[in-house]
Every structure is written in structure tokens, then in C-alpha cells.
Amino acid sequence: GQQVMQIPQYQHVQEGEDFTTYCNSSTTLSNIQWYKQRPGGHPVFLIQLVKSGEVKKQKRLTFQFGEAKKNSSLHITATQTTDVGTYFCAGQSRSNDYKLSFGAGTTVTVRA
């Protein structure tokens, strides 16, 4: 079945530095969504990518969908303490349109 893998599991970042988290699927995806969960909170939608090679930006966050639609990345520049949390990707595949499967997440901590 469809599996979405995320790396790294943990990311410890110095404030002001950049980092990237990656999401890889075993199957071709129809689209991919990214969510952020703050400590003690619930996941909140960030963005959805649909097209092959698509790149979208939200301020310091850059999201990319791979050409083959089997991987995605989230790059954060100039990390701030407000970026602390767990970032999840969620993929949907053609084989089961209604199923929304999440990766294990990347938990980000920031050193001030």
C-alpha cells in the first residue's frame, strides 16, 4: 500500500539557520499536503501541491513537489523560535483518492 516516509525524524536548528525536511512516497502521488503541529496542538494545514515540479512559497517556507510526483520537500530559511513543532507531509494517490496518509513527521527544535 501507499507509504509516505519523512526524513529526518528530528531536526535541531540554530536560530537563523536554514533547514530542509524531505518526504518520499513509494507510489506516485496525485498531490501532497503539508501540515504543522505545534507542541500540545493539533496539525494545521500549510499548503497543497498538485503539479509535477511545483514550487510554492509562504514567507520563509518553500515547498517543492518532485518532477516524478514521488517526493516533496519543505525548506525553511532563517529559522525562528516560532518554527518549533512537527511538520507532516500527507500524500494522496490515484489508487485511492479518498485516503489521506501521513508521514511520521519531522520534529524541529530551535536553539536560540
Partner 1 sequence: DVKVTQSSRYLVKRTGEKVFLECVQDMDHENMFWYRQDPGLGLRLIYFSYDVKMKEKGDIPEGYSVSREKKERFSLILESASTNQTSMYLCASSSLQGLGQILNTEAFFGQGTRLTVV
Q: Which residues of this protein are in contact with partner 1, per CB under 8 A?
A: 1, 6, 9, 30-31, 33, 35, 42-45, 48, 50, 88, 90, 92, 94, 97-105
Residue 8: is the preceding peptide bond cis (ω within 30°)?
Answer: yes
Our CB check for partner 1 shows the closer of 8 and 16 to be: 8
Rounded Cα gap, residues 37 and 35, in angstroms: 7
Least distance to partner 1, CB of residue 103, Å: 6
> Is 102:23 a contact under the CB 8 Å cutoff?
no
Least distance to partner 1, CB of residue 92, Å: 6
Our CB check for partner 1 shows the closer of 80 and 96 to be: 96
Rounded Cα gap, residues 76 and 57, in angstroms: 10
